[in-house]
Structure 1
Amino acid sequence: MRWTIKPKPTPKDIDRLSKELKIDSLVAQLLLQRGITTYQEAKDFFRPQLSHLHDPFLMKDMDKAVERIELAIANHENILVYGDYDVDGTTAVALLSSYLLEEYPNVATYIPDRYAEGYGVSLQGIDFASDNDFTLIIALDCGVKAIQQVKYAKQKGIDFIVCDHHRPGEEMPEAVAILDPKRPDCEYPYKELCGCGVGFKLIQALALKKGEGIDDLIPYLDLVATAIGADIVPIDGENRVLAYFGLQVINTNPRIGFKAIIDQIKKKELTITDVVFIIAPRINAAGRMKHGQHAVDLLVETDLTIASEFAAEIEQFNSDRRNLDKEITEEALQQIQKNKEEDRFTSVVYDENWHKGVIGIVASRLTETYYRPTLVFTKSGDKLAASARSVKGFDVYNALEGCSDCLEQFGGHKYAAGLTLLEEQYEAFKNQFEKVVSETIDPNLLEPELKVDAIIELHQINDKLMRILKQFAPFGPSNMTPVFMSEKIQDTGYAKGVGGGEKHLKLTAFQKDSTPIGAIGFNLGGKLESVKNKNSFDAVFSLDENEWNGNVSLQLKLRDIR
């Protein structure tokens, strides 16, 4: 790993903020590195308020969207709430449909089948709407590129409202309203909402028109927080407020569907990391292994007995998904080694029998192993479909744009995308993708970077610092867990490998006259020799609390040592 020390703010700025907030200079430094420079900004950061949320009507077309929904309700039209099959899409569908159903019965939900229909708005979904007399479709987490599909719906007398957060193309669909903070002509102050976040802004606008306040919408924030975590959007600005209060809902009064999942995993208090690694994969597993509608059914269920049955079913989907993902990752790694492709700038692998539902996870696993832009292909009908994942700092969406002449369609974000192509184009695409990446990537990006906020001495670590750092949460992009580095550390002499195959490293660290502090390094078991015999070493770590037999103690969560 490349260790990069973040630039330290000027001593003058640190001293000023430290005095203004009456805080330690280390905490002042961490705040300044996050762009927090004044008392008011610090207050907003540490004490998020729902009143900090922007007026939803600042979003382009919001007035048109609200007007069309109100008209549909007044005319007793059937409304179809349509969303993608991932966590962001299914939580968004659960959010909007359950809000509308509170007062209006003619609402149904539709999640496309990952395998039969693929990503986004499908013609099959529009046919379903037409056959069942729906005259309004509200698309969430998709639709901003559905030019032909929206046109097709219009021919059938169906209006569209699009709520999306993906980058639009050159042309926009002929929808009644397109809510997307990333559209160039939208002046909404916060651009990084997830799909469920855009859906929340829509219900916020509908609520305002009915004279309801933001407090009436708090029960929906567990869905929004889950989508924010799962979709890996920045946790700053409006997302931070939504995630902060959403986590409170998850931990104090979650919807029945979440309660059913939490009851199974038996964890007391969930952080955003738990949401990402425990709740989100279970919701995602429904769309990967069976059908995304199962996730929506769980998230809108109000009877705990039924929800528990749904949760058990989804738990099984998740278990099956884990087994498949492990098996396919092994096969993909063997394919790279067999073809002697370890030295390329990209990893592109294909097997027609790989399960389409897990190729995104496999792409992430391969990226962890070889640390380079990665695509995993499988057969999908008469075409090939792939999931793309990237390394930090490299825009894989732009790289795919550079190969668009080989592609049928593609969409996504900077770090994750999906695409389809004709089988005969596979080799040409593979070579072109390698060429585009090799010509545009900074070679430094092919080595994982470990960003360090501050170099500290171990004696600076105490309970008070930990209490303040906990208030920096929820953590995520744009507000990552603070990472520190300490130099010339030693182990007390009892370092050992722990866990299956002794793949983790456990030690007790001290430095000069500091009090010894426990440390755990997951997947760092191979570094045991470096710390034995009281060898001196440098370490990069975050701070953690270790709970054992009812006792809580501070420990270093080691990221790397040298």
Structure 2
Amino acid sequence: MEKWMVMAKRADFIEIGKKFGIDKVTARIIRNRDVIGDNDINMYINGGIDDLYDPKLLKDSDKLIDILTEKIKQKKKIRIIGDYDIDGVMSTYILLKALKRAGADVSCMIPDRIKDGYGLNVELINKAYDDKIDTIITCDNGIAAIDEIAHAKDLGMTMLVTDHHAVPYNEESGERIYIKSRADAIVNPHQADCDYPYKELCGAAVAWKVVILLYERLGISNEEAFEFIENAAFATVGDVMPLTGENRIIVKEGLKRIHHTKNIGMKALILQCGLEPENVESYHFGFVLGPCINATGRLDTARRALKLLCSGSEGEAALIASGLVALNDERKEMTRQGFELAISTIEENGYSDDKVLVIYLPDVHESIAGIIAGRVREKYNRPVFVLTKGEDGVKGSGRSIECYSMYEKMCECKDLFSKFGGHPMAAGLSLPEENVEEFRIRINDNSGLSDEDLVRKIMIDVPMPVDYVTMELINEFSILEPYGKDNSKPVFADRNLSVSRMWILGKNRNVLKLSLKSSQDLFYQAIYFGDVETFIKYMQENYGESMVKNAFEGKTNNIVLSIVYSPKINIFRETVSLQFEILYYK
């Protein structure tokens, strides 16, 4: 089920357009992204490096730098402990490169997903202790490692935390009591008493902010610190952080850097994926390059991705990058099989009526549980947990929908887990196998979701006739980029478009091209990349097989469509034309 809804957020779009020199449609889209007031609109359109917030506003940042610089001066052994996903790899790289530049005696450890699990654990701390490590600094993890940090402190180690995950808490009489950590310094904007104005930084961005302060303290140029903004941008998109406020600037400025990247490994990965650095967009971070980084942590070891970023040889970098691309291809096939198994498990067990889907797939590789959960969520539009069987019990990953805070709901049944953590939109967990069914029952009993919550809502920016769209307007939309979470590509809707002709394209016959006639009797090219068979079946059921046959032959027919669309400029053999990508139809 889906429901088309027009965003009805109000403002004086004509006045905003005049003030900022933009079309009233563009002004309306910006308002739809909850950007209000001249200052915020200006920041959205024109925000740059100078508009980034001062890292000193992060709680404990000065304290962490005091400790870190003293440890560097004393030549104490420092170990970075990161994580095995995009954010963890990028934040580990940022700290490793920066601490080496600062003259630190530094090493790093990225946990093995299968052997170590997420973030800090006692074994990693004991290994650091055996290696005579004095100080551990975490990145993209550590905030929830209360017992592990206590163990490290008992061993006499200094513990520094840089993280962006939710601060763990206990609920007592309806009040959140945050659990205190024994870490020597914690830099995480989500701490209740942290005054940093923007809370949605990824782990790599937090690490980068720390590096800016470290370089400033040591007299290393600011320009060197800003070389890492491309890594922070990559991680921001890869970790699906909202592209609002400061994150938007980080990604915008990071893309400028990536277009001329000095990192040999990054350039090699871009080329191995069939791209040119100057053409990389935020989409490629999330759906082309990022999955190759993630694949190493899923199927092998994320240290390979880190080695790529640290590579000093083009030949070595090309070899590693090609290996990452091959691993990602293997991951894609495993994901396809796992997704099909998840769907059959839901249908065969009658889970499709559950408001929160908990799917136990014991034989699926635990590293792809989160991807499968995301695919299942897209199909059913409800929160999804995919659980797999590990060496020490059951492990799983969850992906949520906007109206359901996954982490908070997990806190309500945390007695079932041996370990858990995450965000409102995603989470990870471990639990004993005997608790799986109890988890499914309790998470559903306390879901708080209504049937209406589970209806997919298609949000339309503007109900706009295709006749209004011009190439100038599409070009103007570039000021809305980069696109991503909470700053999606603009979508529009038009009704009563007559189908003049249709073609099926692609070697797999998986693209539908249409010629549509507007209410102004003008013809436009449209394209649909979704399920072509279902689209054709829809038209046959509503207009008859003969009319669909006529449309394919360019003959008179009575097919009329309403569409949700995204406008594009199509360039084919030096011919430039408008093209409308159909996203939804009825």
The answer as to 2:358 corresponding to 1:357 is no
Comparing 35-44 with 372-381, greater Cα deviation is found at 35-44
CA contact (8 A) 1:505 1:524 kept: no
1:411 is aligned to 421
1:261-300 pair list within 5 angstroms:
261-268=269-276, 269-300=279-310
The amino acid of 1:5's aligned partner reads V
1:150 — aligned with what? 149
The answer to whether the Cα contact below 8 Å between 1:17 and 1:37 also exists between their aligned partners in 2 is no
* Distance in 1 of aligned mates of 2:345 and 2:111: 31
Between the aligned partners of 2:166 and 2:521, the Cα distance in structure 1 is 51
1:224-263 pair list within 5 angstroms: 224-263=232-271
Shift of 1:28: 2.0
Partner of 1:321: 331
Whether the 8 Å CA contact 1:140–1:162 is kept in 2: the answer is: yes
Match of 1:164 in 2: 163
Contact in 1 for aligned 2:78/2:104 (Cα 8 Å): no
Instruction: Check conservation: 2:397, 2:426, Cα contact below 8 A.
Output: yes
Q: 1:308 aligns with which of 318, 321, 325?
A: 318
Does residue 1:108 correspond to 2:116, yes or no? Answer: no
Residue 76 of structure 1 corresponds to 75
Separation of aligned partners in 2, 1:174 and 1:255: 37
Match of 1:390 in 2: 400
Q: What letter corresponds to residue 117 of structure 1 in structure 2?
A: D
1:173 is aligned to 2:181: yes
Q: Contact 1:392–1:445 at 8 Å: present in 2 too?
A: no
Between the aligned partners of 1:497 and 1:444, the Cα distance in structure 2 is 36
Q: SS in structure 2 opposite 1:193?
A: coil
**Matching of residue 477 in structure 1 with residue 485 in structure 2:** yes
CA distance in 1, matches of 2:118, 2:261: 33
* Structure 1 residues 448 and 553: CA distance shift in structure 2, 3 A: same
8 A contact 1:138–1:161 mirrored in 2: yes
Aligned to 1:558: 582
Provide the rounded CA distance (Å) in 2 between the counterparts of 1:197 and 1:134: 25
- Conservation of the 8 A alpha-carbon contact between 1:222 and 1:254: no
- Checking the alignment, whether the CA contact within 8 Å between 2:91 and 2:203 is kept in structure 1 is yes
Give, as a single letter, the amino acid of the residue that structure 2 aligns with 1:236: T
Contact 2:373–2:397 (CA under 8 A) maintained in structure 1: yes
**Contact persistence 2:45–2:479 (CA under 8 A):** yes
- Once structures 1 and 2 are overlaid, which stretch shifts more, 202-211 or 514-523? 514-523
Instruction: Give yes or no for the alignment of 1:366 onto 2:373.
Output: no
The alpha-carbon deviation at position 214 of structure 1 amounts to 4.0
Q: TM-score, normalised by structure 1?
A: 0.95
How far does residue 105 in structure 1 lie from its aligned partner after superposition? 4.9
Cα deviation for residue 125 of structure 1 reads 1.3
Letter in 1 for 2:116: E
Assess if the C-alpha contact under 8 Å between 2:236 and 2:247 holds in 1.
yes
Counterpart in the other structure of 1:124: 123
SS in 2 for 1:366: helix
The root-mean-square deviation of aligned C-alpha atoms, in Å, is 1.8
Question: Which of the residues 549, 555, 559 maps onto 2:573?
Answer: 549
How many angstroms does 1:38 deviate by?
4.6
In the alignment, what sits opposite 2:172?
none
Q: Paired residue for 2:502, among 471, 495, 512?
A: 495
Judged with a 3 Å threshold, the aligned counterparts in structure 2 of structure 1 residues 550 and 356 are, in CA distance, closer, same or farther, namely farther
Instruction: Give the letter aligned to residue 406 of structure 1.
Output: L
Return the alpha-carbon distance in structure 1 between the equivalents of residues 451 and 361 of structure 2: 29
Aligned to 1:427: 437
Structure 1 counterpart of 2:93, which letter? A
**Which residue identity is paired with 1:47?**
N
* Residue matched to 2:229: 221
Q: For residue 507 of structure 1, what is the aligned residue in structure 2?
A: 514
CA distance, structure 2, for counterparts of residue 8 and residue 181 of structure 1: 30
Gap change, CA 1:46 and 1:154, over 3 Å in 2: same
Q: How many residues align?
A: 557
Contact kept? 1:144, 1:168, Cα under 8 Å: yes
* SS of aligned partner of 2:319: helix
CA-CA distance at 1:349 after TM superposition: 1.9
Query: Secondary structure of 2:578's match?
Result: strand
Q: CA deviation at 1:552?
A: 4.2
Could you tell me whether the CA contact under 8 Å between 2:75 and 2:104 is conserved in 1?
A: no
What amino acid does structure 2 have at the position aligned with 1:419? L
Q: CA contact under 8 A between 2:296 and 2:324: conserved in structure 1?
A: yes
The 3-state SS of whatever aligns with 2:195 is coil
Q: Deviations over 1:509-562 (max 9, x none)?
A: 231226422211221422235385252221111222334334443321211011
> Can you list the C-alpha shifts for 1:25-80, whole angstroms capped at 9, x where unaligned?
21222222234445543332222221111111111000011011101111001111
SS in 1 for 2:318: helix
Closer, same or farther in 2 for the Cα pair 1:510/1:212, shift >3 Å?
farther
How far the C-alpha of 1:467 sits from its partner, in A, is 1.2
Secondary structure of 1:80's aligned partner:
strand
Please point out which of 514, 522, 533 is paired with 2:529: 522
Q: Does structure 2 conserve the Cα–Cα contact (< 8 Å) formed by 1:391 and 1:445? A: no
The one-letter code of the counterpart of 2:67 is R
How far residue 212 of structure 1 moved from its aligned partner, in angstroms, is 4.6
CA distance in 2, matches of 1:250, 1:260: 12
Cα 1:514–1:247 change in 2 (3 A) is farther
CA distance in structure 2 between the aligned counterparts of 1:352 and 1:31, rounded to whole angstroms: 45
Stretches of structure 1 that go unaligned for 5 or more consecutive residues are none
Amino acid at match of 2:376: L
1:95–1:223: 8 Å Cα contact kept in structure 2? yes
Question: Per-residue displacement from partner, 1:421-463 (whole Å, max 9, x unpaired)?
Answer: 11111221121122222xx013222122211111112121111
Distance 1:36 1:388, change over 3 A: closer
TM-score (norm 2): 0.91
2:82, 2:138 within 8 Å by CA — same for their partners in 1?
Answer: yes
Q: Report the Cα distance in structure 1 between the residues aligned to 2:137 and 2:516, rounded to whole angstroms.
A: 56
Aligned to 1:535: 559
Distance 2:571 2:395 in 1: 45
Amino acid at match of 1:161: L
The match for 2:449 among 419, 441, 444 is 441
